[in-house]
């Protein structure tokens, strides 16, 4: 049985005409409730400042509270720092559940994989997956694998975990495309760029290659 970590608060900010909008959570929740009525739902907690600062600089947290848009794609919303901490907290709770032997899934927004240590961008404010991975290491995990499968490269996650020998980051994404990164592999970072418009076989081949690397962690 899967434990799904989510919170209605994730639907209480945003703009209906923005690509990253409340409907992403609302529609997914409705689908999962219909298809998996036996799944357990639980609310997350907010990530603590200590947990967030493993991935981000203090000045970045200060910037999240300033009522100024971060870029054309990443607007300021009232309370966005708390919403982002809640999403990061859901990722942490999912890690804790997994380490206790329970299957878990975090259904939250805002997303996070473009947020760097010092910058919000690409709809992302805090890097939830990097925060969760560093939490896992902090509580005793020896190795962590991050699998990023998205149209866009998780540049923020790569930046934060780059060089960390306990973390392996693997990404399948379209390139060239936003944010213009992810065209090379190095150290603990393994990128699998795919040309936009590639067929499903090309995506599957890249996913299988990336999966073999993660299994080898």
Find where tokens 């060239």 sit: 176
Q: At 188, list the tokens.
A: 């603990």
- Residue 60, phi-psi category: left (phi > 0), alpha (psi -120 to 50), beta (remainder): alpha
pLDDT at 212 (0 to 100): 77
How far does CA 65 lie from the centroid of its chain? 21
Whole-model pTM?
0.96
According to CATH, the topology of domain 1-141 is 3.40.800
Q: Give me 147's structure tokens.
A: 């699998």
Q: Which residues of the chain does CATH 3.40.800.20 include?
A: 1-141
Q: What is the pLDDT along the chain (217 residues), one digit of tens a residue?
A: 999 999 999 999 999 999 999 999 999 999 999 999 999 999 999 999 999 999 999 999 999 999 999 999 999 999 999 999 999 999 999 999 999 999 999 999 999 999 999 999 999 999 999 999 999 999 999 999 999 999 999 999 999 999 999 999 999 999 999 999 999 999 999 999 999 999 999 988 988 888 776 666 5
- 56, 83, 113, 114: the catalytic one is 114
Q: Which residue has the tokens 């090379």?
A: 184
- 113 catalytic? Reply is no
CA distance 205 to 193: 12
């Amino acid at each position: 049985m899967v434990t799904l970590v989510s919170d209605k608060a994730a639907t209480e900010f945003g703009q209906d005409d923005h690509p990253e909008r409340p409907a992403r959570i609302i529609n997914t929740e409705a689908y999962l409730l219909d298809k998996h009525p036996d799944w357990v739902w639980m609310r997350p907690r907010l990530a603590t400042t200590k947990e967030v600062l493993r991935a981000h600089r203090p000045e970045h947290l200060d910037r999240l509270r300033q009522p100024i848009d971060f870029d054309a794609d990443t607007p300021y919303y009232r309370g966005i720092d708390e919403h982002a901490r809640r999403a990061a907290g859901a990722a942490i709770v999912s890690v804790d559940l997994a380490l206790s032997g329970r299957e878990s899934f975090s259904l939250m927004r805002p997303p996070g994989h473009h947020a760097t240590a010092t910058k919000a961008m690409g709809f992302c404010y805090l890097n939830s997956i990097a925060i969760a991975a560093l939490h896992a290491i902090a509580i005793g995990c020896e190795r962590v694998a991050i699998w990023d499968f998205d149209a866009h490269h998780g540049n923020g996650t790569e930046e934060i975990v780059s060089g960390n020998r306990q973390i392996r980051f693997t990404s399948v994404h379209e390139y060239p495309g936003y944010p213009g990164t992810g065209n090379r592999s190095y150290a603990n970072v393994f990128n699998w760029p795919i040309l936009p418009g590639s067929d499903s076989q090309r995506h599957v081949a890249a996913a299988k290659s990336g999966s073999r690397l993660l299994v080898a962690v």
